[in-house]
Amino acid sequence: MAIAAANKRTLSENESKIILSGYDVPTVREVVAADPEAAVKAAAEIGFPVVLKGHGGALAHKSELGLVYVGLEDESAVGNAAQKILSGAPEGLEGFLVQEFIKGRREFLAGIFRDPIYGPMVVFGLGGVLTEALSEISMRVAPLERADAEEMLVELRGASALMGEFRGEAPVDREAVIGTLLGLSKLAMERPDVAEVDLNPLIATPDGGIVAVDALVVIAPPEEPIPPRPQTSPEEIGKIFYPKSVAFIGATTGMGKWGQSLPTNLIAGGYEGEIYLVNPKGGEMWGRHVYKSISEIEGEIGLAVVSIPAKGVLELIPEFKEKGVKQVLLITSGFGETGEEGRDLEKRLVEAARDAEVVLFGPNTMGILNPWINLYITGVHTRPHAGGTALISQSGNMGVQLLDYASRQGIGIRAFGGSGNEAMVTIEDFMEAFEVDDETTTVLLYLESVKEGRRFLKSAKRVGMKKPVVVLKGGRTAAGSRAASSHTGAMASDYRVFQAVAKQSGIVSVSQPVEMLDASAAFSSLPLPKGRRVAIMTLGGGWGVVTSDLCAEHNLEVPELSQTLVSKLDGVLPPYWSRTNPVDLVGENDPDLPFIGVEALAAWDGCDAVINLGIVGRRYLLKWLLTSLEKVDPGLESSSAEQIQGMVDLLEQRYIDHCAKLMERYDKPIIGVELASGGAQRTLYEIAGAKYKGVFFSTPERAVRALSHMCSYQDFINR
């Protein structure tokens, strides 16, 4: 939210520094001088060389206005510079600022700004001319913990390279930088009237100290705090996923209408509770009685699903109250997402619902699922099987895509909810409900914007300590943000801010839908790696090379094999084996070798995870070969082809079982990459009675990325 310019006041450089020095920010020694004579006198007191600047509250970007003279060696240089500044007579010039000249080649920046959704943020990055050229900044939501500040220093390639020894200058005093960032954080929290702070540059001296030579503080009346929204409790949210009965208000036989596809999905999906169809016309539908109104229904209504046009929805609330309906899933669109009028209607609806003690989900949602009780209330009839992955999506079609893909990959779903416009129940409410749900192992969120940034950050962090929260953030780019705001009626906050929130709260942040489900498959099926060392086993060299490169790019190590392990493998592998990590079993037909190899690596204490390439999936290649042979070799007996195929299928199944057992024994993830599958590939292999599952991706990049997300999550837990 832009603060109206009229209410903003920029403090002068010197006033700014006075505030900052009260918060542990090291600032340059300086004197304010009213005229050139006083400037010359002050320079002599400070000692040469000095820096002379034009001074005044309205003067930002001083060097562009020709108001900064650095490295002035004597009194006459100072006098001349002062005259030049005066002759330019810029508007807002109130006097001069004489400063000690700070030596140092490295310039950083630090500061504060206020994000409309997440509030005060602290920034650190490359300063001086590099600021705009490289735009390398890292940020965190205030208040910062020490660990947040530490992370900010290592996050940026450029800045962290400059933190070390540089062209004969000592490494930067990290404590001083951390102290400055924590000081800024404190300032941000204690002074709500400080809208912005800009320290640029913060110069690192040759002995490694840091000094702010320029400072800019912008004061603005604090924004009215947004009153916290009433929260919907986890118990209330739990109820929507376990309704005793469901009534469809607006049931219809109209082909493809919501009122048709929702009830038919629920009926066909095998839900065991009572289902009521409501339509003023009455009669029958699909051989079932149709009630003319809610009041005609004799039994209790656990959940009312509403798909009638927006203008008629408000009138339903008194009927719900009368009938004692407490939970309403409002599918209908045409509310806040359409503009002023719709927003107004949505507001009135929420007020009425609260009065009637009705919990309202949506509007403009695509529905909910709970496969554990065959509760399928979505327009698209995809019916994933029950599992541990909970998914909440702010976009209906993204949700459907993800669900469909998840079910094809064998990923089980705990529950799905489209949060729609979040008029009453927000994505934060859902997240907190899954926090306390024992069945949920991983929480996936498709997010465009949140309503209460600081609550979101806090809950994500708390939930994250118990189970991974994986977020796909829509609106990463300007184009994406535009699309997001036009379809959910929400303003998408800057993606950079979100990235900071993700790091601070341990959110596993992904940028593609497939990546999200891969992370979810890994989290819900494998033990977490304890460190970043990866052992790779491959059938063929190139794959191993590519995977090693990918590991390095994702900050994973591929350590050399220990001598003990090499000797151990020498005893079992053919004499020409690679003797390095990746372990290459190429050209070897002995079916036992992969079993022995993967076990030796899993047992090796020099690695934290094992990636195996191409062991599983050979059954597909064989199938293709046999198909060709059938055409080429009239003598081939189909029974013998089937027998060979059956043997290889069984072998692969045994290998997957073996991996699952090893994971349990050594408490270490084993991730596979399958050979070419011709599109038949699936990610998860469930093994009866086993704690973990077989996880096999179609490509090394998917495997490495999923593993690196697990490592980052483990880092967060350790932190």
Where on the chain is the footprint of ligand ADP (CB under 6 A)? 28, 51, 53, 61-63, 68, 70, 99, 101-102, 107, 128, 201, 213-214
Would you list the DSSP string of 10-50? Answer: EPPHHHHHHHHHTTT--B--EEEESSHHHHHHHHHHH-SSE
Tell me which residue has tokens 């109104």: 293
The label of the residue with tokens 């939930």 reads 463
At 262, the amino acid letter reads L
Q: Please calculate the CA angle 9-10-12 and round it to the nearest 5 degrees.
A: 135
In the complex, the smallest distance separating the C-beta of residue 60 from Mg ion, rounded to whole angstroms, is 9
What is the Cβ-side half-sphere exposure of residue 348, based on CA atoms within 13 angstroms?
14
CA dist 614 → 35, 202, 209, 543, 644 (Å): 78, 52, 53, 9, 19
Secondary structure of residue 649 in the 3-state scheme: helix
The span of 210-218, 440-448, 591-599, 665-673 binding Mg ion (CB under 5 A) equals 210-218
**What kind and span of H or E run contains 719?**
none
Phi, psi for 471 (deg, rounded to 5): -125, 130
DSSP 8-state class, residue 233 = P
Amino acid letter, 274: E
- Containing 306, the helix (H) or strand (E) segment is strand 303-306
Q: How far is the CB of 331 from ligand ADP (least distance, A)?
A: 54
Q: Least CB distance from residue 231 to ligand ADP, whole Å?
A: 45
Judged by CB, which is closer to Mg ion: 200, or 260? 200
Provide, rounded to whole angstroms, the least separation between the CB of residue 63 and Mg ion: 7
Cβ nearer to Mg ion, comparing 11 with 306? 11
Binder of residue 459, out of ligand ADP, Mg ion, none (CB less than 5 to 8 A by kind): none
Q: Which does 63 bind (CB under 5 to 8 A by kind): ligand ADP, Mg ion, none?
A: ligand ADP
Q: Using CB under 5 A, which of 10, 200, 370, 681 touches Mg ion?
A: 200
Say which entry of Mg ion, ligand ADP, none residue 169 contacts (CB below 5 to 8 A, set by partner kind).
none
Q: In this complex, which beta carbon is closest to ligand ADP, that of residue 204 or of residue 301? A: 204
Both structure tokens of 257: 């209408």
Decide whether 30 or 599 has the Cβ nearer to ligand ADP: 30
> Which of the stretches 136-144, 194-202, 250-258, 456-464 binds Mg ion when contact is defined by CB under 5 A?
194-202
Residue closer to ligand ADP by CB (options 131, 185) is: 131
Q: Judge contact between 82 and 105, C-beta under 8 A.
A: no
By CB under 5 A, is residue 449 in contact with Mg ion? no
| Nearer to ligand ADP (CB atom), residue 215 or residue 598 | 215
Token digits for 198?
Answer: 């800009």
Q: How many residues bind Mg ion (CB under 5 A)?
A: 2
Q: Are strands 534-538 and 583-584 parallel, antiparallel or unpaired?
A: parallel
Report the C-alpha gap between 251 and 267 in whole angstroms: 13
Closest distance of CB 216 from ligand ADP, Å: 8
The one of Mg ion, ligand ADP, none whose footprint includes residue 99, by CB under 5 to 8 A per kind, is ligand ADP
For Mg ion, give the closer residue by CB, 109 or 353.
109
Contacts of 237 (CB under 8 A, 6+ apart): 425, 429, 430, 433
- If one asks whether residue 608 binds Mg ion (CB under 5 A), the answer comes out as no
Which residues, in sequence order, are bridge partners of residue 123? 111, 139
Which of 214/674 has CB closer to ligand ADP?
214
Using CA atoms, how far apart are residues 87 and 80, in angstroms rounded to an integer?
11
CB of 405 to ligand ADP, least distance (A): 50
Q: Tell me the closest approach of the beta carbon of residue 102 to Mg ion, in angstroms.
A: 13
19 contact choice in ligand ADP, Mg ion, none (CB below 5 to 8 Å, kind-dependent): none
Nearer to ligand ADP, 133 or 465 (CB): 133
| Rounded Cα–Cα distance for residues 313 and 349 (Å) | 8
Q: How far is the CB of 94 from ligand ADP (least distance, A)?
A: 15
CB of 556 to ligand ADP, least distance (A): 39
Tell the smallest beta-carbon distance from residue 459 to Mg ion (Å).
38
The CB-of-42 to Mg ion minimum distance in angstroms stands at 20
Q: How far is the CB of 28 from Mg ion (least distance, A)?
A: 12
- DSSP assignment of 178-222 equals HHHHHHHHHHHHH-TTEEEEEEEEEEEPTTS-EEE---EEEE-PP
Nearest Cα residue to 93 out of 42, 52, 58: 58
Distance (Å, rounded) from C-alpha 201 to C-alpha 63?
Answer: 12
* Pick 213 or 445: Cβ nearer ligand ADP: 213
Rounded (10°) CA dihedral 71, 77, 79, 81: -60
The answer for residues whose C-beta is within 8 angstroms of residue 146's C-beta and 6 or more apart is 178, 182
- Cβ(153)–Cβ(124) under 8 Å? yes
- Greatest Cα-to-Cα distance within the chain, rounded to the nearest angstrom: 109
Tell me which of Mg ion, ligand ADP, none is bound by residue 51, counting a contact when its beta carbon lies within the kind-specific cut-off of 5 to 8 angstroms: ligand ADP
Q: What is the smallest separation between the CB atom of 34 and ligand ADP, expressed in angstroms? A: 19
Contacts of 460 (CB under 8 A, 6+ apart): 431, 469, 471, 501, 505, 506, 507
Query: What phi and psi values does residue 526 have, to the nearest 5 degrees?
Result: -130, 155
Q: Closer to ligand ADP at the Cβ: 46 or 514? A: 46
Closer residue to Mg ion, CB minimum distance, 200 or 441: 200
The item of Mg ion, ligand ADP, none sharing an interface with residue 102, based on CB under 5 to 8 Å by kind, is ligand ADP
Residues in the chain: 719
Distance from C-alpha of 510 to C-alpha of 391, rounded to nearest angstrom = 14
CB 547 within 8 A of CB 704: yes
Q: What's the closest the beta carbon of residue 129 comes to ligand ADP, in angstroms?
A: 8
Question: Residue 101's binding partner, choosing from ligand ADP, Mg ion, none, with beta-carbon cut-off 5 to 8 A by kind?
Answer: ligand ADP
Closer residue to ligand ADP (CB): 205 or 578: 205
User: Phi and psi (nearest 5°) for 372?
Assistant: -65, -25
**DSSP-derived 3-state class of residue 272:** coil
Cβ 174 to ligand ADP shortest distance, Å: 22
**Tokens at residue 609, please?**
């995870």
Closer residue to ligand ADP in complex, CB, 107/448: 107
**Nearer Cβ to Mg ion, position 131 or 520?**
131
User: Binding of Mg ion at residue 214 (CB under 5 A)?
Assistant: yes
Please report how close the Cβ of residue 101 comes to ligand ADP at its closest, in angstroms.
Answer: 5
Report the alpha-carbon distance of residue 610 to residue 595 in Å, rounded.
13
Q: Nearest-CA neighbor of 115 among 453, 503, 438, 392?
A: 453
Q: Which is nearer to ligand ADP, 21 or 714 (CB)?
A: 21
∠ CA 70-71-77 to the nearest 5 degrees?
95
Q: Which residues bind Mg ion (CB under 5 A)?
A: 200, 214
